[in-house]
Amino acid sequence: MTNTRSDIYTRITDRILADLEQGVRPWHRPWNAEHAAGKITRPLRHNGIPYKGINVVMLWSAAVVRGHTCPLWLTFKQALELGGHVKKGAKGELVVYADRITRTETDAKGEETEREIPFLKGYTVFNAEQCEGLPAHYYAKPEAPAVPLPARIDAADRFFAATGADIRHGGTRAYYAEGADYVQMPPFETFRDAESHAATLAHELTHWTKHPKRLARDMGRVAWGDEGYAKEELVAELGAAFLSADLGITPDVRPDHAAYIQSWLAVLKHDKRFIFTAAAHAQRAADYLHGLQQPQQIEEERAAA
């Protein structure tokens, strides 16, 4: 079990390292509008339920590499159950899930105790475009959007406002000031477009969730630019990518893109498991921000999806 788990960590991390070494962030192209389901921009299971955490990163990366426009993924068996089949020669993609088993052990006194042992298990999925004979909606092309793009940006603005974060505008830098607990953003007019502003704000609000009174996330930062700093930036990158996918925002490439990639490469080469940790923290941050929305707004977002 330990060897299998270590192998999964290594396989996934090595793949992400390969992308980063090519200057590609595998989480940066979160959707494609050429499929009807593309408006739901995380990778989706066969039943429409979105993937989370590291599986989002892995399947986004696979979609970019293989040119898939459909966000739907199925196992070999699920394709058969839907009346279709995986095309001959198609190569599947690894996804993982974490679980626990309970083991009963006897101590030195002869007393039995139960111990939970975590484990990681992988299985293979195929994109719907690698399958034939599936129901029609797996291959459907998009209809004309029901609402213009600005409405989607407005929805993102409402989402950020509903978090209750202290968001200030002014200056030339975007950052989160943890001591004073506020997010600083340059004026809206200085951004290339509304999506660039929203994607940057998603990044900074992911940082905002690390405060001790929220998720109390500590990556071990001591000084600017150290390993702890790089780790927190990777969490914020993934968190912003997840939120961008959820809200229909196209993530912006930051000017410091190249420097960050080098720092992430160093972190991931040193710790083969950190991409899993970063994705889990990013998912918790996204879930936390979603949890701050008002019930009416949540219903509106579901209806829009």
pLDDT of residue 270: 87
Tokens of 260: 């960050």
pLDDT of residue 35: 65
Determine the average pLDDT of the residues in 3-31. Answer: 69
93-133 pLDDT, tens digit per residue, is 999 987 777 887 777 777 777 878 777 788 999 999 999 99
Beta partners for residue 267, in sequence order: none
229-251 pLDDT, tens digit per residue, is 889 999 998 898 899 888 888 76
> Does residue 182 surpass a pLDDT of 70?
yes
> Does residue 216 surpass a pLDDT of 70?
yes
In the chain, which ranges are continuous DSSP H helix? 2-21, 54-66, 76-81, 149-162, 194-208, 227-247, 257-270, 274-291, 295-304
DSSP 217: -
Determine the average pLDDT of the residues in 253-278. Answer: 79
Q: How confident is the model at residue 40 (pLDDT cuts 50, 70, 90)?
A: very low
d(CA 110, CA 26): 52
Amino acid at 285: A
φ/ψ of residue 168, rounded to 5: -110, 145
143-179 pLDDT, tens digit per residue, is 655 544 443 478 889 999 999 999 999 887 889 999 9
